[in-house]
Amino acid sequence: MQLRRVSALLVAGAVVATACSSTSVDERPVIEVFGTFREADAQNFGATVEPFEEEHGVEVRYVGSGSFEQEIRQRIADADYPDIALFPQPALLTEFAAQGLVRPLSAETAAAQQAAYGDNVVATFDGDLYGVWFKASVKSLVWYRSDTFAARGYKIPGSWSDLVQLTEQIEANGTTPWCLSMESFTQSGWVGTDWIEDIVLRQQGSDFYDDWVDGAVSFEDDAIVAALETFGDVVHTPGRVAGGVNRILNTPWQRAQDPMFDEEPGCLMHRQASFQEVHLPESAVLGENTDVFPLPSIDGSEPPVLVAGNLAAAFDDRPDVALLMEFLGTPEAGRVWASMGGFTSPHPDFQTEWYTSEFDRRIGEVLRKARTVRFDGSDLMTPAVGTGTFWSGMLTFVRTANARATAAEIQAGYPGAEPFEE
């Protein structure tokens, strides 16, 4: 008789959190801010609110979580509200607004936001404005290996068909054109949703995009299926993405571009947002061997710009909380962070000379000059879809290459929709 005993250890995954507070030990009133910024970003946010703390004699305690979407829901379920939360998803914020959980902006703060952003204000519900836009990033960018581009005489593509041609040319020269990976722990899939949004915005235009984001256009619409297929041309064409499907699904998105900087580049292009700057490997030097170009439009016109960012919203109506909300909505709020780099202000009155990083200044210019700006669709859609089936559907699509079935699976996430069955 044999007896075998197998003991297995299962690592459930990493959860990360960052907390910051000022180090003095006095007993000032505390404003708790909860968000997604961690590590250096958390420190920079701490520095951002320091002038406010001094001016108003309060202490801002910031806590950042790597699983914000889950944790904020849990906190609300536990009635353990932060004073302010920094939402990456306006839709999550409006969902809470609809439930009466977050406080509408004060009349002054709301008027200032309206004056700054006009039609582009996000996070409104029932005529009230709930969020102030604090930090922005531009998503419609392609990071590329600029020294190899120069050495081989590749031109920055001016239109989508140029981009397709360039992709094929790079392949013909024996190099894998794209880097792409989507692993993001509980948020895996969002990288894919950005691709689809950028493609829909280019193939169908901004009005169609708005209807799709609002849920008026189904994911099963032929236009959305076509966008999935366009993305599929990149993902599922053998040899087009470094490491293929396996790497796309299993490599953390922060490490996506790393093969680009191998001695023999493992890829030459990576579509990712401006915030990728802080995740570049040490061997990457902006302006020397890497740079960005805008993801081109389909017809060669001024490309639309997909943006994302963080919106602050208050769960408490104490006067000090309202003051901090007002502060975060001002262009001056971003000055400290911009002076440290890695920050782009969405505010049209933010002075370009406040940027110390040339890259941040360029991104700020892109944002300011863009004629068509749209917020990241998945962050605006009903969370059950936007941060639910749309995220998970992208993983399904990468695995299965079945655009129509994927579209049905994503659409089934809408409340009241027929459950999706494979």
Partner 1 sequence: MEPTDERTNISPPANDLTPITQIWGTIRQREDWTDDERTEVLNELFPDDERIVPYIKRFATLMVLSTTIAAFGLIANSAAVVIGAMLVAPLMTPMLALAASLTYAQMRRFVGSVSLIVIGTVGAIATGWVVARIAGGSLTATSLSSELLTRTTPSLLDLGIAIAAGLAGGYVLTHKGAGSSLPGVAIAVALVPPLATVGVALELQATDQALGALLLYSTNLVAIVLSASVVMVVSGFVPDYIRQAARGKIGLRLLPWGIALIAVALPLAAHTRAILEDDAFARDVTAAIEVWDPQAEIVDMDADRSGDRATVSMTVATSADRQSAWKLAKAITADLRVDLDLDVRYQQESTDAASTS
Binding positions for partner 1, rule: CB under 8 A: 1-21, 23, 25, 32, 34, 38-39, 42-43, 46, 61, 63-67, 71, 74
Residue 407 Cβ vs partner 1, minimum distance, rounded to whole Å: 34
Distance (Å, whole) CA 57 – CA 59 = 7
Residue 45 Cβ vs partner 1, minimum distance, rounded to whole Å: 11
284-288, long-range: CB within 8 Å, 24+ apart, which pairs?
A: 284/257, 284/260, 286/359, 287/146, 287/358, 288/146, 288/147
Closest to partner 1 by CB, 10 vs 151, is 10
Distance (Å, whole) CA 168 – CA 25 = 61
**Neighbouring residues of 387: CB distance < 8 A, sequence distance ≥ 6:** 69, 89, 91, 92, 187, 190, 378, 379
- The string of DSSP codes covering 350-401 is --GGG--SHHHHHHHHHHHH-SSEEE-HHHHS-HHIIIIIHHHHHHHHHHH-
Q: For tokens 């961690």, name the residue.
A: 38
For the chain, the C-alpha Rg in angstroms (whole number) is 22
Residue 77 Cβ vs partner 1, minimum distance, rounded to whole Å: 12
Closest to partner 1 by CB, 5 vs 422, is 5
Closest to partner 1 by CB, 262 vs 365, is 262
Give the number of other Cβ atoms within 10 Å of residue 261's Cβ.
Answer: 19
**Three-state SS for 246?**
helix
Q: Are 62 and 37 within 8 A, CB to CB?
A: yes
Closest to partner 1 by CB, 161 vs 185, is 185
The secondary structure of residue 289, as a DSSP letter, is T
Residue 46 Cβ vs partner 1, minimum distance, rounded to whole Å: 7
Closest to partner 1 by CB, 17 vs 150, is 17
Residue 74 Cβ vs partner 1, minimum distance, rounded to whole Å: 7
In this structure, the strands spanning 269-271 and 30-35 are unpaired
Of 68, 70, 51, 73, residue with least CA distance to 60: 51
Of 4, 14, 410, residue with least CA distance to 184: 14
Of 279, 282, 281, 304, residue with least CA distance to 369: 304
Residue 263 Cβ vs partner 1, minimum distance, rounded to whole Å: 16
Residue 26 Cβ vs partner 1, minimum distance, rounded to whole Å: 11
Residue 43 Cβ vs partner 1, minimum distance, rounded to whole Å: 7
What H or E segment, with its residue span, contains residue 323? helix 319-328
Closest to partner 1 by CB, 156 vs 284, is 284
Closest to partner 1 by CB, 59 vs 210, is 59
Closest to partner 1 by CB, 13 vs 100, is 13
Q: For tokens 């536990």, name the residue.
A: 78
Closest to partner 1 by CB, 62 vs 327, is 62
Residue 82 Cβ vs partner 1, minimum distance, rounded to whole Å: 10
